[in-house]
Amino acid sequence: MALDTIKISETLAAKWGARLGMWLEICARCGLCAKGCHFFQSDPRPEHVPAYRLKPLRQVLAAKGNISEADMAALVDTVYGTCTMCQRCTMYCPHGINIAFMVRATRALAVSVGLTPKGLASGLANALEMGNNLSITAEEYQETLDWQLEEVQEEMPEAACPVDQEGVRSMVTFHPRDIKFYPGNLYSYLKLYNAMGEDFTFTSQGWDSTNIGLFAGDDAAAGTLAGRVVAAGERLKVQRVVTAE
């Protein structure tokens, strides 16, 4: 299957900007960023120097998007496999180049031709389709809230678990694993929020504040996912949204 190089060029053009161009231009390949990277600190290989992660982007630019499948596979391995976008290297760069920003831009090129790594792609598909990345149903969600509230009430009889309450101060969101795999976390949140007398609510919609779209480098998906949390916060007219831990 040939790569859709037109798609790559279009994505590159959309991502292009003065900042990105300047950073590519001024990187002196001095290697100071290596000190900042846990990949390099743990396993000092040239491919683990953060500046190396700009190589695929340069390659795509030089080829005006027309790169081979092998080069594209190498791009995927470099920008997904060898960088967690932690931004530590930026603190060691004399120019303050944000390598993570460019890694994410490069990830977008892979996304544009459907080469998002499998694990990310499937979690993202779940999130888009089901409203959370672990495909938890509305019933499962509410049942878990009820169950953990009962548990907390044994310790704190007055504890409450408001859902979709409008006009409160804080809307508290989750990572889906809090519901599916670690309901004990939910117990802790309920205990803490009740103990501190916080004016809070959970929400039946837009409660997953993780964003796999952001990790994947898929801007459209990232916007959709973040937009759901924003919509929930707006609908409930809260003063603040508390992110997942």
Partner 1 sequence: MKRTLPFDVVSPMTVMAEAFREGRLKLKKHHYTEPVTFQDSCNFVRNGGNFKDARLLMGQVAGDFREMHPGGVHTYCCGSGGGHGLMSEYKKLRLATAKAKAEAIRRTGAKVVVVACHNCEDGIRDCVKEYGLDCEVHLLSNYLAEAVELGGAS
Output the smallest distance, CB 65 to partner 1, in A: 24
Helix, strand, coil percentages (3-state) for the chain, rounded to 5, are 60, 5, 35
- Report the DSSP beta bridge partners of residue 202: 163
- Distance in angstroms between the alpha carbons of the first and the last residue of the chain: 41
- For partner 1, which is the closer residue by CB, 21 or 81? 81
Contact of 39 with 89, CB cutoff 8 Å: no
Q: Tell me the two tokens of residue 126.
A: 């779940």
Binding segment (CB under 8 A) for partner 1, from list 13-21, 22-30, 42-50, 59-67: 42-50
Region of 64 please: left (phi>0), alpha (psi -120 to 50) or beta.
left
Which of 20, 115, 160, 242 binds partner 1 (CB under 8 A)? It is 242
Output the smallest distance, CB 74 to partner 1, in A: 14
**Helix 69-76 vs helix 55-62: crossing angle, to nearest 10:** 150
Task: List binders of partner 1 among 173-202 (CB under 8 A).
Answer: 175, 177, 182, 184-185, 187-189, 191-192, 195-198
* CA–CA separation, 190 and 146 (whole Å): 11
Binding status of residue 64 toward partner 1 by CB under 8 A: no
Binding status of residue 119 toward partner 1 by CB under 8 A: yes
- For partner 1, which is the closer residue by CB, 64 or 237? 237
Contact of 115 with 191, CB cutoff 8 Å: no
Residues that bind partner 1 (CB under 8 A): 38-39, 41-43, 48, 80-88, 91, 100, 103, 117-120, 123, 155-156, 170-172, 175, 177, 182, 184-185, 187-189, 191-192, 195-198, 210, 212, 215-216, 230, 233-234, 237-245
